[in-house]
Amino acid sequence: TVLIVDFGSQVTQLIARRVREAGVYCEIVPFQSAEEGFRRLSPKAVILSGSPASTLEIGSPRAPSVIFESGLPVFGICYGQQTMCAQLGGKVESGHHREFGRAFLEVEKDCALFDGVWSLGSRHQVWMSHGDRVTALPEGFEVVATSSNAPFAFIADEKRKYYAVQFHPEVVHTPDGAKLISNFVHKIAGIRGDWTMSAYRAKAVEAIRQQVGDKKVICALSGGVDSSVAALLIHEAVGDQLTCILVDHGLMRKDEAANVVAMFQEHYNLHLLHIDASDRFIGELTGVSDPETKRKIIGRLFIEVFEEEAKKLGGADFLAQGTLYPDVIESVSFTGGPSVTIKSHHNVGGLPERMNMQLVEPLRELFKDEVRVLGRELGLPDSFIGRHPFPGPGLAIRCPGGISREKLEILREADAIYLDEIRKAGLYDAIWQAFAVLLPVQTVGVMGDGRTYEFVCALRAVTSVDGMTADFYHYDMEFLGRAATRIINEVRGINRVVYDVTSKPPGTIEWE
Ligand code: XMP
């Protein structure tokens, strides 16, 4: 295990990604609890992250001294380098100019960390982002690479296996960064790269059996990748002690519920209840047009229906959830203060307390792309694993204004045609998320010899990494024309199609 001490950098998670890509398990622990994390994990190496803080400020964070007393290899990145120097007897000063962006390093000395990556005298692109800098080295350290602005860009104390850099090796703009991090964990710390998904699967199955014993588990299955993979893993561990409940709110895409049910029942023989609650959901949503009210109604009904069904089963001791590692990492906050709620996301977070259940969260240690790899391990088809995200409140938030069964039906058809065209054009995997929106506006058209007065359909497609920011997808016009023609010809109720060219920010991905 590698311990990553988080001082609050925006990119700490990328350090963890790089370590895991090297086949080594790691955990991120906030600096406030790093000492406890160190004792709990017994790591074989430590990485210190960057930070928005300055070591020159009074009360700025430090690495716990156990780390330096342990004799383990340490890799300090940016702020991590500065605090290492400050703590080990060097000196840090505020930089005359802050340095951001691309810089070039020149290798001045051989260093075990460069093995197979960099050689003496070579030059390499790295990514800098810092204000302060080291101005005097602690004893035992020497400079191994420099940039024109950073004489201490890369320093090392090879005896103690301490390495520290002013740049960010974890970001893609440092092309060799991943290899340096891999060298640190393999060659310097001597950790074998045997963290694989099949090893994780076996370990997770064992842990679930330990936790659950002979008790019952229930799981809300939406058909999303996270809850599906969690359910399959738990099913592998405890078989029919697991019951999955699919609360069908009538707001899913075309054929979605049927496909999910078929896959889990037929291929996995998993105990799955398909609850058609569409009357209840659509009944309560009728006449409601405020987006937040819609979201709240759906969230509340979901919990009510799930709870009722669970009671019918005679309850359960455990609730399974597909919580991922990014949701678990405690964030290190320097600004404090609550952030503004843009949308209240629908989830089942309130259930365990209400129903007095314990949680089983077998994906807590994984990143999203690792969950996909695990899903493949468990035999989920690629078409399922690579699916675009779909929001909990479903089509209700893609039907601005009031919803009705009729409108949902129109939207479902248009959406299915749009996605079909995307697949046919081979664009599905290049797009992060694509969907149709049915606008509550009617416009005039002419079809054959007749006048039409029907709804407008908006098409949306975005590229994104995490859904936090997004760019609209740049289709060629031919494609859009094809999709629009098919939708207007094949879907009764739509006579006009428009394309949404808003990025996020300022837009959001969904329309509500
Ligand atoms: P926005 O619209 O906020 O969406 O830019 C970002 C991503 O989140 C999805 N989304 C949701 N997912 N429950 C979910 O599970 C929700 O209530 C919800 N609202 C939005 C959205 O589809 C996009 O992928």
pLDDT digits 0-9 by tens, 416-447: 999 999 999 999 999 999 999 999 999 999 99
Residues 26 and 148 in one domain: yes
In the structure, how many helices (H) and strands (E) does the chain have? 17, 18
Residue with tokens 């051989």, as numbered in its chain: 110
Residues 175 and 287 in one domain: no
Spacing, Cα 511 to ligand 1 middle (Å) = 10
Domain assignment present for 393 = no
CATH number assigned to the domain comprising residue 261: 3.40.50.620
Residues 355 and 477 in one domain: no
Residues 418 and 479 in one domain: yes
Question: Taking CB atoms and a 6 Å cutoff, what residues make up the pocket around ligand 1?
Answer: 343, 345-346, 389, 391-393, 433, 467, 504, 508-510
Spacing, Cα 256 to ligand 1 middle (Å) = 18
CA pair distance 288, 401, nearest whole angstrom = 7
Spacing, Cα 394 to ligand 1 middle (Å) = 9
ipTM beyond cut 0.85: yes
Residues 41 and 177 in one domain: yes
Q: How many residues does the chain have?
A: 512
Domain assignment present for 512 = no
pTM: 0.84
Residues 429 and 380 in one domain: no
Q: Looking at residue 129, what is its pLDDT?
A: 82
Of the residues 27, 99, 111, 168, only one is catalytic, namely 168
Spacing, Cα 345 to ligand 1 middle (Å) = 7
In angstroms, the Cα distances linking 407 to 391, 398, 438, 441, 442 are 18, 10, 8, 12, 12
End-of-domain residue from the set 358, 385, 412: 385
Q: Looking at residue 269, what is its pLDDT?
A: 95
| Atom 22 of ligand 1: nearest residue by CA position | 391
Q: Is 284 a catalytic residue?
A: no
Of the residues 26, 78, 85, 399, only one is catalytic, namely 78
222 is in an annotated binding site: yes
For residue 453, what are the β-bridge partners? 444
CATH number assigned to the domain comprising residue 433: 3.30.300.10
End-of-domain residue from the set 127, 162, 188: 188
Q: Which 3 state secondary structure label does DSSP give 112?
A: helix
Residue with tokens 């988080």, as numbered in its chain: 6
Total domains, the chain: 3
| Atom 19 of ligand 1: nearest residue by CA position | 391
CA pair distance 489, 400, nearest whole angstrom = 23
Residue with tokens 């996020």, as numbered in its chain: 504
Residues 286 and 218 in one domain: yes
Q: Which bin fits 59, alpha (ψ -120 to 50), beta or left (φ > 0)?
A: left
Q: Looking at residue 135, what is its pLDDT?
A: 92
- Dump pLDDT digits (tens) for 453-466: 999 999 999 999 88
What is the C-alpha R_g of the chain?
27
| Token reading at 82 | 């500065």
Residues 258 and 219 in one domain: yes
Of the residues 27, 99, 170, 236, only one is catalytic, namely 170
226 is in an annotated binding site: yes
Angle, helices 225-238/368-377, rounded to nearest 10 degrees: 50
CA pair distance 105, 148, nearest whole angstrom = 8
Q: For residue 220, give its domain range.
A: 197-385
129 is in an annotated binding site: no
Domain assignment present for 214 = yes
**Which helix or strand (DSSP H or E) is residue 56 part of?**
none
Residues 24 and 99 in one domain: yes
CATH number assigned to the domain comprising residue 165: 3.40.50.880
Residues 289 and 361 in one domain: yes
Q: Which of ligand 1's atoms lies nearest the C-alpha of 507?
A: 5
* pLDDT by residue, tens only, the chain of 512 residues: 999 999 998 889 899 999 999 999 999 999 999 999 999 999 999 999 999 899 999 999 999 999 999 999 999 999 999 999 999 999 999 876 777 889 999 999 999 999 999 999 999 999 998 788 899 999 999 999 999 888 999 999 999 999 999 999 999 899 999 999 999 999 999 999 998 999 899 999 999 999 999 999 999 999 899 999 999 999 999 999 999 999 999 999 999 999 999 999 989 999 999 999 999 999 999 999 999 999 999 999 999 999 999 999 999 999 999 999 888 777 676 655 556 778 777 666 677 788 889 999 999 989 888 999 999 999 999 989 999 999 999 999 999 999 999 999 999 999 999 999 999 999 999 999 999 999 999 999 999 999 999 999 999 999 998 888 899 999 999 999 999 999 999 999 999 999 999 999 999 999 99
Q: Which 3 state secondary structure label does DSSP give 278?
A: helix
Domain assignment present for 504 = no
Residues 179 and 216 in one domain: no
Q: Looking at residue 328, what is its pLDDT?
A: 79
| Token reading at 408 | 């949902």
Domain assignment present for 83 = yes
228 is in an annotated binding site: yes
Q: Is 457 a catalytic residue?
A: no
CA pair distance 98, 133, nearest whole angstrom = 9
| Atom 17 of ligand 1: nearest residue by CA position | 345
Residues 32 and 102 in one domain: yes
End-of-domain residue from the set 165, 188, 211: 188
Domain assignment present for 81 = yes
Spacing, Cα 359 to ligand 1 middle (Å) = 23
Instruction: Say which residues have a Cβ less than 8 Å from residue 334's Cβ, sequence separation at least 6.
Output: 8, 52, 53
- How far the first Cα of the chain sits from its last, in Å, is 42
Instruction: Say which residues have a Cβ less than 8 Å from residue 100's Cβ, sequence separation at least 6.
Output: 128, 129
Q: Is 168 a catalytic residue?
A: yes
Domain assignment present for 469 = yes
What beta strand segments (E) does 31-175 contain? 45-48, 74-77, 91-107, 123-136, 142-146, 154-157, 162-165
**Do the Cβ atoms of 168 and 50 come closer than 8 Å?**
yes
Within 13 A of 440's CA, how many CA atoms are on the CB side?
15
| Atom 21 of ligand 1: nearest residue by CA position | 391
Domain assignment present for 506 = no
**Ligand 1 binding pocket mutation candidate from 247, 298, 343 (most atoms within 8 A of CB):** 343
CA pair distance 397, 394, nearest whole angstrom = 6
In angstroms, the Cα distances linking 204 to 45, 97, 210, 399 are 24, 49, 10, 40
**Which helix or strand (DSSP H or E) is residue 446 part of?**
strand 433-447
Q: Which of ligand 1's atoms lies nearest the C-alpha of 344?
A: 17
Q: Which of ligand 1's atoms lies nearest the C-alpha of 508?
A: 5
φ and ψ at residue 169, rounded to 5 degrees:
-75, -15
Q: Looking at residue 71, what is its pLDDT?
A: 97
Spacing, Cα 454 to ligand 1 middle (Å) = 28
